[in-house]
């Protein structure tokens, strides 16, 4: 680098002439805009912005000027350098964008192709519907109660007012556990969970009990020896049949849609008095098929109502056997078969599909019912 | 119970235009389970005809037909061809004319047959839908039963709807036309013409001698005697028709009358041939070794608990269940002894079960029969025998009656309204209770309401108990005294009466009120985590299935479970669905592998299934479960012994993987599911519930002895995972190298944290170090990893195995394990020497413990 030279005539330093600086700048800008690709631009950058480039060399000459001339020359060179740098940067941006666009274009794929990571499996619809029922009632503040499947006969029958030789006890087609007289059975309904709830909890009791139960039926299109039920039990002060109806109406709407309701028909169960069968207003035809042969309904058989389960006011004898003060408390209970619910709610036609474990059955449902 | 509408109409004045369906609808609303309504598809014209002439005409096919002319009330005779010969000129017959449709949809038209045009036909009983009457020919009416041209459909009540009612155990009285008629009368608000309301003409004494030794089991025993009957007489056609419509076959006048009265009134009847009885009838329990041949010709060994009807010859009937063959009435019988008795429901139920003999009589006695009926029923039988079999009724009558009168129950006058949560006025309550046959009075001033459940000490009810009310009318009464009718022994508790009032008030009229529960706590931790396990497994591509929990030796054999394995000790059923599968599963895999087998058999080779379910593990000592009293809450000790008697029933989760995990495709070669996938799924389940299990190699059926991982938590084994033994795959027809998992989900969840506490994490840089260690081949990678973690100390953030190598370079019997270690301090950037020291300390533990050698380069 040249040191200061006071004898040197600044006007005679050619590279710092205004015209010369402009020319250098214009040459650089022309070269950049003429670069066809990133490699050519890099080459032009070396020529016009590199260590040996005219503008850099010119810059070095500024020091040789007398101090009074340096400012003007510095400004001139600085402006030119900025213009060249800007020219480079804008061309670089253009070329990079073009490059990226070309590259992405070559990377196009067929997004419809399959892939090998495992597909989503499926829940069994009986599990899904149990959980949905549980959710309806936990949202009301109820608890989900559970119990064992091999159950004490006392809890399955006696505690629920099924007396030892009463025909109702014989109607249940019970599996007995060896040895005969062991006092143990496969529970014939989820009702022993009600007894367990009353024996272990203090009122107010609001529980829903989904579970697997057993009766000695042969498997066919509408029967299975192993099936699922859900039962509800409430024991509280001042509980009435009206509360049972209100709960069932809410349950029907939650499971089948707005505007539907439950209907009670008197019946007999040992553990409730009064007892009733629960019908559900047909959620498909909403009664429009009744007496209307032009609009038959497969779901309800044009009856307008679908048989759903049983219910009633808890028989005070049941409360008594389970240690609930019958002067103070009353209760209601209801129960439904979940297979049957799936059959009419989701159009399952054959009970066997639900128990044979064919994956194709579960897979139809995935994670929703 | 089958109820012909025409029979019902005899006792209930139903509106003329109601159909079987209408009545069924009303009865259903009143609480009877009407299962079906059979509606006749018969349409006329069907008329009474009088045979004017007939010609026998032999045919080429060997048959002889009759070419008949009939008077059907028109100017010209009707000419028809008939194949039957059981009629003569002048007989009245039933003629179906062209245009009619007979039951079963048989349309009748004039047609050419046997060289004539037959304008209709003469009908048999079966053709009219009355069933086979055993006549082997056409129906011949009694002289005067009709006149030619009469509508035979109306005359013979041919177009009758039949209601089939499933009678619930509390409504025994509805196993009779009388009982159903009572419900129908109430439902339509009309009077009941009680068929039991008939004149008794017995003397109440001197009947056939009877001694009842067990008055509790037999509280009423009535006999009447009818002499000189013609046992060969045919039952009247109307009776046969009703029996057939009710599902019973007419047999003989003696049997038919007994059955008819049972259907009509609900009182089972037994008839004896007096000539075959010897000495006094004694009702007693059986003696050891006694035998009886019952009417179905089976010889039955009697149990000491059986209640018997006996005479000097020994047992002549199992009371209330079935009579004996030796005293049965026959065609030769002339004198009949009629038995109408009341037996204890439990005694009959047990005998019926013991002898596996459910009869029309036992079904009724089990549900309890009106104890006031026997004298009326015996009278009715005697009347019918006298009228249709030509017998003479003796005035002598035996009446043993020790049955207690129905006890009155005092209850709050507003009890029904309180149970219903509806406004049911006192008037309505009284009206409804009265209509079911109760006697209702205002309670005496000092009465106390019955406890809600019998056996509970009566509440003081001071606010109502002391109220003075009139004694003869119930208006304004606070307490009612209600006496149930004799046919409703099920009405005992205040709620029983409430049910009657509410069902007649109408369940539809009860309002709908959603009760407000106190705040709940949502799902329990266990319930929540079970759902998450299932969701995670589905996310991993597994499909949930269900299967029956029944198993047997064949399953254990197929699984290669050794003879002395604890899993073969099972809870067994007395009455399994299949004798091959008498046990409840002790492992989910027994049934899950069968499910896998079924799926593979249906063409699903690549299978990833799971199931959750209980397994049933007998306790070391099995005790029977007690049956404590239901009069009060069992003691805590009794409740505990109920629970203790049950087997352990933990919830397990099982998984079976077969075939390819990933298929071969455009991405390259597929990968079979293997032992490592099974182990990984087990690890996944553990991590979902927040548990870090200890894993080690073990040998256990049904897994491959070298490829089975045991999972344990805090020293307790919680399950296994790995590849199935080749023989097991073969036995279940699964693809080779299928794998399986079974974990005790309850135990895993119990070992999980109640909740998670957050820890701070460092924002200083990580230092990464790799280390390769040569160890003996049998050393488990997990153990080496644990040793590294132990030695590396607190600075270690994570350690991960990333390579396993065996080969010549490191020598036989050895393997090289490469681990990536990450170090980080919570409060500073680590210095090089700190990291080197920690790494060295980690390696040193493996050197000391396993003789590990660091592999360099």
Shared domain for A197 and A93, answered yes or no, is: no
Query: CB–CB of B262/B269 below 8 Å?
Result: yes
Nearest to B584 among A126, A150, A357 (CB): A150
Q: Which fold has domain B2-40+161-188?
A: Phenylalanyl-tRNA Synthetase; Chain B, domain 1 (3.30.56)
Residues of chain A in contact with residue B171, where contact means CB-CB under 8 angstroms, are 268
Residues of chain A in contact with residue B627, where contact means CB-CB under 8 angstroms, are 153-154, 158, 183
CA distance A107 to B10: 91
How many degrees, rounded to 5, is the angle at CA B810 between CA B808 and CA B814? 105
Q: Is residue A115 situated within a structural domain?
A: no
CA distance B352 to B322: 9
Nearest to B545 among A113, A124, A320 (CB): A124
Determine, for residues B632 and A274 on separate chains, whether the beta-carbon distance falls below 8 Å. no
Shared domain for A63 and A200, answered yes or no, is: no
Question: β-strands B101-102, B671-672: how paired?
Answer: unpaired
Shared domain for A225 and A335, answered yes or no, is: yes
Shared domain for A62 and A143, answered yes or no, is: no
Q: By C-alpha distance, which of B251, B229, B230, B227 is closest to B239?
A: B251
Q: Is residue A278 situated within a structural domain?
A: yes
Of A107, A134, A163, which residue sits at a domain end?
Answer: A107
Phi, psi of B291 (to 5 degrees): -130, 160
pLDDT the model gives residue A4: 54
| pLDDT tens profile A110-151 | 999 988 887 899 999 999 999 999 999 999 999 999 999 999
CA-nearest residue to A224 within chain B is B548
User: Residue B221: helix, strand or coil by DSSP?
Assistant: strand
Indicate whether A334 pLDDT > 80: yes
Q: By C-alpha distance, which of A209, A135, A352, A347 is closest to B522?
A: A135
Q: Is residue A241 situated within a structural domain?
A: yes
Domain locations in chain B as residue ranges = 2-40+161-188, 46-155, 210-401, 410-509, 525-615+650-751, 767-855
Spell out the CATH class of B767-855. Answer: alpha beta
Q: By C-alpha distance, which of B653, B539, B531, B516 is closest to A144?
A: B531
Tokens representing residue B367 in the block: 């549900």
Interface test with A, best of B307, B359, B509, B546 (most A CBs within 10 A): B546
Determine the structural domain holding residue A218 and report its residue range.
Answer: 125-365
Determine, for residues A176 and B574 on separate chains, whether the beta-carbon distance falls below 8 Å. yes
How large is the average pLDDT for residues A105-109? 92
Give A306→chain B minimum CA distance, Å: 14
A114 alpha carbon, distance to own chain's centre: 23
The helix (run of H) or strand (run of E) holding residue A263 is strand A262-269
The residue ranges of chain B whose pLDDT is under 50 are: 455-472
Query: CB–CB of A16/A76 below 8 Å?
Result: yes
Percent of residues, chain A, with pLDDT higher than 70: 95
Q: Is residue A145 situated within a structural domain?
A: yes
User: Residue B405: helix, strand or coil by DSSP?
Assistant: coil
Of A81, A107, A133, which residue sits at a domain end?
Answer: A107
Question: β-strands A143-144, A205-214: how paired?
Answer: parallel
pLDDT the model gives residue B472: 39
User: Residue B355: helix, strand or coil by DSSP?
Assistant: coil
Shared domain for A73 and A129, answered yes or no, is: no
Determine, for residues B543 and A121 on separate chains, whether the beta-carbon distance falls below 8 Å. yes
Q: By C-alpha distance, which of B225, B269, B266, B215 is closest to B400?
A: B215
Tokens representing residue A284 in the block: 């498909």
Determine, for residues A118 and B666 on separate chains, whether the beta-carbon distance falls below 8 Å. no
pLDDT the model gives residue A69: 81
CA distance B857 to B774: 13
Shared domain for A354 and A301, answered yes or no, is: yes
Domain at B525-615+650-751: CATH architecture: 2-Layer Sandwich (3.30)
User: Residue A167: helix, strand or coil by DSSP?
Assistant: helix
Tokens representing residue B312 in the block: 């000097």
Query: CB–CB of A245/B513 below 8 Å?
Result: yes
CA distance A57 to A52: 6
- Report which DSSP code applies to B275: G
CA distance B109 to B45: 11
Contacts of A216 (CB under 8 A, 6+ apart): A173, A174, A175, A225, B575, B577
Shared domain for A199 and A288, answered yes or no, is: yes
pTM value is: 0.84
pLDDT the model gives residue B234: 86
Per DSSP, the residues of A171-224 read TT-PPBBTTTTSSEEE-SSSHHHHHHHHHHS-SSEEEEEEEEEE--PPP-SS--
Shared domain for A87 and A132, answered yes or no, is: no
Query: CB–CB of B721/B707 below 8 Å?
Result: no
B732 alpha carbon, distance to own chain's centre: 34
Query: CB–CB of B761/B815 below 8 Å?
Result: no
Nearest to A245 among B499, B512, B537 (CB): B512
Determine, for residues A274 and B665 on separate chains, whether the beta-carbon distance falls below 8 Å. no
* Whole-number average pLDDT of chain A: 90
Of A80, A107, A134, which residue sits at a domain end?
Answer: A107
CA distance B571 to B622: 10
Per DSSP, the residues of A107-146 read T---TTS---SPPP-B--HHHHHHHHHHHHHHTTT-EE--
Residues of chain B in contact with residue A320, where contact means CB-CB under 8 angstroms, are 453, 455-456, 630-633
Q: What is the number of domains present in chain A?
A: 2
Shared domain for A96 and A172, answered yes or no, is: no
Determine, for residues B645 and A184 on separate chains, whether the beta-carbon distance falls below 8 Å. yes
Phi, psi of B543 (to 5 degrees): -110, 130
pLDDT the model gives residue B820: 96
Residues of chain B in contact with residue A329, where contact means CB-CB under 8 angstroms, are none
Indicate whether A9 pLDDT > 60: no
Q: By C-alpha distance, which of A247, A254, A363, A263 is closest to A308?
A: A263
CATH code, A226: 3.30.930.10
* Options 2.60.40.10, 3.40.228.10, 2.40.50.140, 1.10.3210.10; CATH of B46-155: 2.40.50.140
Shared domain for A157 and A187, answered yes or no, is: yes
Determine, for residues A152 and B645 on separate chains, whether the beta-carbon distance falls below 8 Å. yes
- Report which DSSP code applies to A16: G
Determine, for residues B624 and A186 on separate chains, whether the beta-carbon distance falls below 8 Å. no
Shared domain for A219 and A310, answered yes or no, is: yes
- Residue B253: C-alpha distances to residues B241, B387, B395 (Å): 13, 11, 21
B392 alpha carbon, distance to own chain's centre: 48
Q: Which fold has domain B210-401?
A: Phenylalanyl-tRNA Synthetase; Chain B, domain 3 (3.50.40)
| pLDDT tens profile B193-227 | 999 999 999 998 899 999 999 999 999 999 999 99
Query: CB–CB of B480/B410 below 8 Å?
Result: yes
Q: Is residue A116 situated within a structural domain?
A: no
| pLDDT tens profile B796-844 | 999 999 999 998 888 899 999 999 999 999 999 999 999 999 999 999 9
Nearest to B598 among A116, A242, A357 (CB): A357
- Quick one: CA dihedral B135, B138, B140, B145, positive or negative? positive
């Amino acid at each position: 680098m040249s040191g200061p030279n006071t004898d040197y005539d600044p006007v005679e330093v050619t590279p710092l002439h205004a015209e010369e600086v402009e020319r250098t700048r214009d040459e650089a800008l022309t070269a950049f805009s003429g670069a066809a690709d990133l490699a050519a631009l890099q080459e032009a950058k070396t020529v016009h912005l590199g260590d040996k480039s005219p503008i850099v060399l010119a810059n070095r000459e500024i020091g040789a000027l007398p101090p009074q001339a340096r400012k003007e020359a510095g400004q001139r060179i600085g402006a030119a350098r900025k213009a060249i740098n800007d020219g480079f940067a804008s061309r670089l941006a253009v070329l990079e964008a073009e490059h990226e666009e070309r590259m992405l274009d070559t990377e196009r794929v067929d997004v419809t192709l399959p892939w090998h990571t495992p597909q989503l499996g499926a829940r069994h619809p009986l599990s899904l519907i149990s959980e949905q029922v549980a959710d309806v009632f936990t949202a009301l503040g109820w608890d989900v109660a559970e119990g064992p499947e091999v159950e004490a006969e006392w809890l399955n029958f006696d505690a629920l007012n099924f007396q030892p030789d009463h025909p109702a006890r014989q109607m249940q087609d019970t599996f007995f556990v060896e040895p005969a007289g062991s006092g143990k059975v496969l529970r014939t309904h989820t009702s022993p969970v009600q007894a367990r709830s009353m024996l272990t909890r203090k009122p107010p009791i609001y529980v829903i009990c989904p579970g697997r139960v057993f009766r000695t039926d042969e498997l066919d299109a509408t029967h299975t020896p192993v099936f699922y039920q859900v039962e509800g039990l409430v024991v509280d002060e001042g509980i009435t049949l009206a509360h049972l109806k209100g709960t069932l109406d809410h349950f029907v709407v939650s499971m089948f849609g707005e505007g539907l309701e439950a209907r009670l028909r008197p019946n007999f169960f040992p553990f409730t008095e009064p007892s009733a069968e629960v019908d559900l207003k047909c959620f498909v035809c909403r009664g429009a098929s009744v007496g209307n042969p032009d609009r038959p309904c497969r779901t309800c058989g044009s009856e307008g109502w679908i048989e759903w389960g049983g219910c009633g006011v808890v028989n005070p004898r049941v409360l008594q056997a389970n240690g609930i003060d019958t002067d103070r408390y009353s209760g209601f209970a209801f129960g439904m078969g979940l297979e049957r619910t799936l059959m009419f709610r989701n159009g399952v036609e054959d009970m066997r599909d639900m128990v044979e474990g064919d994956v194709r059955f579960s897979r139809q449902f995935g994670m929703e019912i | 119970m089958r109820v012909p509408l025409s029979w019902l109409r005899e006792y209930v004045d139903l509106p003329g235009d109601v159909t079987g369906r209408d009545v069924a609808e009303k009865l259903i609303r009143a609480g009877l389970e009407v299962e079906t309504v059979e509606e006749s598809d018969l349409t006329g014209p069907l008329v009474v005809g009088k045979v004017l002439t007939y010609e026998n005409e032999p045919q080429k096919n060997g048959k002889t037909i009759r070419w008949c002319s009939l008077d059907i009330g028109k100017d010209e005779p009707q000419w028809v061809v008939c194949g039957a010969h059981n009629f003569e000129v002048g007989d009245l017959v039933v003629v179906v004319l062209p245009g009619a449709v007979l039951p079963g949809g048989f349309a009748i038209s004039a047609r050419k047959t046997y060289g004539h045009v037959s304008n209709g036909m003469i009908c048999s009983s079966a053709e009219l839908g009355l069933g086979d009457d055993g006549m082997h020919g056409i129906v011949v009416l009694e002289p005067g039963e009709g006149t030619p041209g009469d509508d035979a459909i109306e005359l013979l009540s041919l177009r009758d709807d039949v209601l089939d009612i499933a009678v619930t155990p509390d409504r025994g009285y509805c196993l009779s036309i009388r009982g159903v008629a009572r419900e129908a009368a109430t439902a339509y608000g009309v009077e009941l013409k009680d068929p039991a309301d008939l004149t008794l003409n017995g003397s109440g004494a001197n009947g056939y001698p009877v001694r009842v030794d067990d008055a509790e089991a037999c509280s009423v025993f009535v006999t009447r005697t009818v002499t000189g009957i013609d046992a060969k007489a045919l039952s009247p056609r109307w009776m046969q028709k009703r029996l057939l419509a009710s599902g019973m076959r007419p047999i003989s006048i003696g049997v038919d009358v007994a059955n008819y009265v049972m259907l009509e009134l609900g009182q089972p009847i037994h008839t004896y041939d007096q000539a075959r009885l010897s000495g006094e009838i004694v009702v007693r329990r059986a003696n050891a070794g006694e035998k009886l041949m019952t009417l179905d010709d089976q010889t039955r060994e009697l149990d000491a608990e059986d209640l018997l009807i006996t005479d000097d010859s020994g047992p002549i009937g199992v009371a209330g269940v079935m009579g004996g063959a030796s005293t049965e009435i026959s065609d030769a019988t002339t004198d009949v002894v009629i038995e109408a008795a009341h037996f204890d429901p439990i005694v009959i139920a047990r005998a019926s079960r013991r002898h596996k003999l459910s009869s029309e009589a036992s079904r009724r006695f089990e549900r309890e029969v009106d104890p006031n009926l026997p004298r009326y029923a015996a009278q009715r039988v005697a009347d019918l025998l006298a009228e249709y079999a030509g017998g003479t009724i003796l005035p002598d009558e035996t009446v043993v009656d020790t049955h207690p009168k129905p006890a009155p129950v005092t209850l709050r006058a507003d009890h029904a309204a309180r149970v219903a949560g509806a406004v049911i006025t006192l008037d309505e309550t009284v009206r409804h209770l009265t209509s079911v046959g109760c006697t209702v009075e205002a309670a005496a001033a000092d009465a106390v309401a019955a406890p809600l459940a019998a056996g509970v000490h009566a509440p003081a009810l001071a606010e109502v108990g002391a109220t003075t009310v009139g004694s003869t009318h119930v208006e304004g009464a606070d307490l009612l005294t209600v006496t149930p009718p004799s046919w409703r022994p099920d009405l005992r508790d205040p709620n029983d009466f409430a049910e009657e009032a509410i069902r007649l008030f109408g369940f539809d009229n009860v309002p709908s009120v959603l009760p407000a529960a106190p705040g709940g706590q949502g799902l329990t931790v266990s319930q929540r985590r079970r759902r998450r396990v299932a969701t995670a497994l589905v996310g991993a591509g597994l499909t949930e299935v269900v299967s029956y929990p029944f198993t047997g030796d064949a399953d254990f054999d197929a699984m290669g479970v050794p003879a002395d394995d604890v899993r073969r000790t099972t809870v067994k059923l007395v009455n399994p669905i299949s004798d091959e599968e008498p046990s409840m599963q002790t492992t989910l895999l027994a049934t899950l592998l069968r499910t896998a087998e079924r799926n593979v058999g249906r063409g699903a080779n690549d299978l990833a299934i799971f199931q959750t379910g209980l397994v049933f593990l007998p306790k070391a000592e099995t005790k029977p479960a007690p049956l404590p009293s239901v009069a009060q809450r069992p003691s805590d000790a009794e409740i505990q012994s109920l629970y203790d008697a049950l087997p352990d029933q933990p919830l397990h989760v099982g998984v079976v993987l077969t075939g390819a995990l990933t298929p071969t495709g455009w991405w390259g070669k597929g990968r079979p599911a293997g032992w490592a996938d099974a182990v990984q799924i087990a690890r996944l389940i553990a991590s979902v519930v927040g548990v870090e299990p200890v894993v080690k190699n073990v040998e256990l059926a049904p897994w491959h002895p070298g490829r089975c991982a045991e999972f344990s938590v805090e020293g307790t084994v919680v399950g296994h995972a790995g590849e199935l033994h080749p023989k097991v795959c073969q036995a279940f027809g699964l693809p080779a190298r299928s794998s399986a998992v079974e974990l005790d989900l309850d135990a895993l969840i119990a070992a999980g944290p109640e909740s998670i506490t957050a820890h701070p994490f460092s924002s200083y840089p990580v230092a990464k170090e790799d280390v390769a260690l040569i160890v003996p081949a049998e050393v488990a990678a997990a153990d080496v990893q644990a040793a590294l973690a132990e030695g590396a100390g607190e600075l270690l953030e994570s350690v991960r195995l990333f390579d396993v190598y065996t080969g010549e370079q490191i020598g036989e019997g050895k393997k090289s394990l490469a681990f990536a270690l990450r170090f980080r301090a919570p409060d500073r950037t680590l210095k090089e020497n700190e990291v080197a020291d920690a790494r060295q300390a980690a390696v040193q533990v493996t050197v000391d413990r396993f003789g590990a050698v660091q592999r360099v380069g």
